[in-house]
Structure 1
Amino acid sequence: MFYYVLKFVLLGPVLRLLFRPRIEGLEHVPAEGGAIVAGNHLSFSDHFLMPAILKRRITFLAKAEYFTGRGPKGRLTAFFFRGAGQIPVDRSGKEAGKAAIREGLGVLGKDELLGIYPEGTRSLDGRLYKGKVGVAVMAITAGVPVVPCAMVGTFEIQPPGQKVPRIKRVTIRFGEPLDFSRYAGLENEKAAVRAVTDEIMYEILALSGQEYVDRYAADVKAEQETDRAKAGRVKDRPAKKFPRPRR
């Protein structure tokens, strides 16, 4: 119930008024039955803008940190995500991917819409990064279509680190549903799920016009954090003192 209050009363009308989203290809989202909407992920605002314009309810697999925050902001975020029916997924450990797939298949099994960001995390710099294969495993296992989606302009309104989004018009594009029934029974084949994932990412790329990076965003983020930590240690290291030369 709270989901529809947010969508139609509290949040949805405000978002549509402020950001005036251009919506393209909405007719490609199935009116009924299970389906996956797979999109790029440029901004925290994506969590709100896409559901606000869809006619159907959509459930996202959200990182568990959104549900465990402390302080007023953390509690408000957790309240929103729980009320909106989003599913927390622990992204740490070897079983994280399997848990996400189980939760996603549960949503699809109820003939509902499942929202997925195949990159697994927000883009660092506005580019599109390599997709993880969980989206392919779910699409093949459940036998559902995948609707590619591109958020355009959300990185500019709220890049990483910016708490309050800028008020600027954005575009949300949906592509034609992708049918992967030819891969039925191959959800455990690495080559098959990689091929399906890459096809999905290519369609998102065509819709968004982003630059593509053939690396996982999480790996690049980890490298950057390591580099920053090393730079900080070098900066904090006391400068060596050399003896003055004798005259």
Structure 2
Amino acid sequence: MTENQLQNWLVNIGQNIIWISGKLLYQHWFQLKCLGLENIPQDRAYIIAANHVSHLDGPAVIAAQGKHFKNVYSLAAKDYFFNRPFKAWMCQNFFNMICFERKGNFLNSLRSCQKIVEQNKVILFFPEGTRSITGELQRLKLGLGLLVLHLNVPVIPVYIHGTYQALPKGRHFPKRHPIYVSFGLPLDFRHYQTKQNILDTRQIQQQIINDVYIAIAQLHDNLVGKVNYGNLET
């Protein structure tokens, strides 16, 4: 066995351990509940765009959507997740994170994302850019609009509830709290491709993120209402 083969084998074993233990943790400790799984495409690539309040968000979405997390790649901030060599290697190889610069050149990330969608895999993106310190949905960044225009794949809006209570920004250890993940209907933005001769790119990106924001906000209202009134079917 070559060194590369050994490394790939170890990474594969590590990912399987993370996948199984992570699902068990979310299902039994956090009592993970999912809505809208029928909205997830089964035969094509797509972008998941979710609200972001906690480090628990990414694993919660990945555990909820059902596909092995080998098929899900998360866009992660370079300044936070890739600021040290070993940490960067772990994030890239064991957690399928794609490095992107929050305040810099996004083109390298786009190239990586293009290769992923060509393999019919999933990209998880938090378009707020950082965790909300209040738990409320923040303004979305234009990077999502750029990603959508470049990749031309549907967007699945997602709202996550409960991770803020379990592990908000600033807390180091989570507490036990139910987590809910709601998947919305796919958003198809192909009609914006025809507007590129009418509107400038920034205007189109703004319209895209406005549409995604509204979809996530609607999921929030629906999910939180069900949780508060005890009408959530499990």
TM over 0.5, shorter chain: yes
- In structure 1, how many angstroms separate the alpha carbons of the residues matched to 2:121 and 2:94? 17
Instruction: Give the superposed CA RMSD.
Output: 2.3
Larger-Rg structure: 1
Question: Any conservation in 2 of the 1:32–1:112 contact (CA below 8 Å)?
Answer: no
- In structure 2, how many angstroms separate the alpha carbons of the residues matched to 1:129 and 1:138? 19
Go from structure 1 to structure 2 and tell me whether the alpha carbon gap of 1:141 and 1:90 turns closer, same or farther (over 3 Å shift): closer
Residue of structure 2 in register with 1:244 after alignment:
none
Residue of structure 2 in register with 1:228 after alignment:
none
> Are 2:72 and 1:58 equivalent residues in the alignment?
yes
1:6-155 mapped onto 2 (5 Å cutoff)? 6-7=18-19, 9-56=20-67, 57-64=71-78, 65-69=80-84, 79=90, 82-93=93-104, 95=105, 97-155=106-164
Cα shift at 1:159: 1.0
Structure 2 SS opposite 1:38: strand
Question: Any conservation in 2 of the 1:42–1:123 contact (CA below 8 Å)?
Answer: yes
Q: 1:195 aligns with which of 201, 207, 211?
A: 207
**TM-score scaled by structure 2?**
0.78
Go from structure 1 to structure 2 and tell me whether the alpha carbon gap of 1:155 and 1:128 turns closer, same or farther (over 3 Å shift): same
- Write out per-residue CA displacement over residues 10-35 of structure 1, whole angstroms, 9 at most, x where no aligned residue: 32212211011110001111112110
Question: Any conservation in 1 of the 2:48–2:124 contact (CA below 8 Å)?
Answer: yes
Cα shift at 1:171: 0.7
- Percent identity, aligned pairs only, is 23
* Number of equivalenced pairs: 203
Extract unaligned runs of 5+ from structure 1.
Answer: 211-247
- In structure 2, how many angstroms separate the alpha carbons of the residues matched to 1:54 and 1:209? 20
Structure 2 SS opposite 1:88: strand
Question: Any conservation in 1 of the 2:75–2:125 contact (CA below 8 Å)?
Answer: yes
**AA paired with 1:159?**
P
Extract unaligned runs of 5+ from structure 2.
Answer: 1-11, 223-234
- In structure 1, how many angstroms separate the alpha carbons of the residues matched to 2:87 and 2:188? 38
- In structure 2, how many angstroms separate the alpha carbons of the residues matched to 1:76 and 1:179? 35
- In structure 1, how many angstroms separate the alpha carbons of the residues matched to 2:135 and 2:94? 29
Go from structure 1 to structure 2 and tell me whether the alpha carbon gap of 1:80 and 1:58 turns closer, same or farther (over 3 Å shift): same
